[in-house]
Structure 1
Amino acid sequence: MITLQNQQLTIQINELGAQLHSIKRLDNQIEYLWQGDPASWKRQAPILFPFVGRLKNDQYSYAGKTYHQTQHGFARDRQFNVIEQTPTMVIMEQHDDDKTLQVFPFSFNLQVKYELQNNKLAVSYRVINPSADKTLIYAIGAHPGFNMPLTKAGVFNRTKLSVWPAEEYSRVLLEGPYNDLEHPQLIDMKEARMLDHDDFNHDAIIFKTDGGHFTAKLTDTVVNHGVTVDTFDTEYVGIWSQYPATAPFVCVEPWWGIADNINADGTLLHKQGMHRLAPAEEDNYKFSIEPF
Structure 2
Amino acid sequence: MIITISNKNLTATINTIGAELVTLVKNQKNYIWTVDENYWNRTSPVLFPIVGRLKNDSYTYNEKTYSLSRHGFARDMEFTYDKRSEHQVIFELNETEATKAVYPFNFKLFIAYTLMGNELVIEYFVRNQSDEVLPFSIGAHPAFAIEGDVNNYSLQFNKDDHFETHHLEQESFNGNTSIVNSMDNEISLSYDLFDVNALVFKQLKSNEVTLKKKDKSIVKVNFDHFPYLGIWTKSNAPFICIEPWCGLADNVNHDGNLEEKEGINLLQPHEDFLRAMRIEILE
Q: Name the TM tier (shorter chain).
A: over 0.9
Deviation sequence 1:85-144 (CA, Å, 0-9, x none): 21001111001010100000101100011101110001111100111x211110000000
2:189 is matched by which residue type in structure 1? L
In structure 2, stretches of 5+ residues that fail to align are none
In structure 2, the residue matched to 1:15 is 16
Deviation at 1:64, TM superposition (A): 1.9
Distance across 1 between alignment mates of 2:112 and 2:206: 20
What's 1:109 paired with?
Answer: 108
CA RMSD after TM alignment: 1.6
Could you say which residue in structure 2 is the equivalent of 1:258? Answer: 248
Match of 2:146 in 1: 148
Alignment TM-score, normalising by the size of structure 1: 0.91
CA distance in 1, matches of 2:260, 2:81: 35
Residue 240 (structure 1) aligned with residue 232 (structure 2): yes
* One-letter identity of the residue aligned with 2:214: T
Equivalent in 135, 138, 146 of residue 137 of structure 1: 135
Query: Paired residue for 2:218?
Result: 226
Q: Distance in 1 between matches of 2:9 and 2:128?
A: 36
Secondary structure of the corresponding residue to residue 151 of structure 2: helix
* 1:64 and 2:63 correspond: yes
Give the aligned residue type for 2:252.
Answer: I
- Deviation string for 1:28-49 (max 9, x for gaps)? x211101112111100000000
Q: Distance in 1 between matches of 2:197 and 2:214?
A: 24
8 A Cα contact 2:161 2:206, kept in partner: no
Does the 8 Å contact 1:169/1:187 carry over to 2? yes
The match for 1:274 is 264
2:273 maps to a residue whose letter is: D
Equivalent position SS for 1:279: coil
Is contact 1:213–1:234 with CA below 8 Å preserved after alignment?
no
Q: Gaps (5+ residues) in structure 1?
A: none
Figure out how many residues of one structure are paired with residues of the other and give that number.
Answer: 280
Which residue of 1 is the match for residue 278 of structure 2? 288
- Asked if structure 1 preserves the Cα contact closer than 8 Å seen for 2:143 and 2:242, the reply is yes
Aligned partners of 1:162 and 1:191: how far apart in 2?
A: 6
Other-structure match for 2:193? 199
SS at 2:43's partner residue? coil
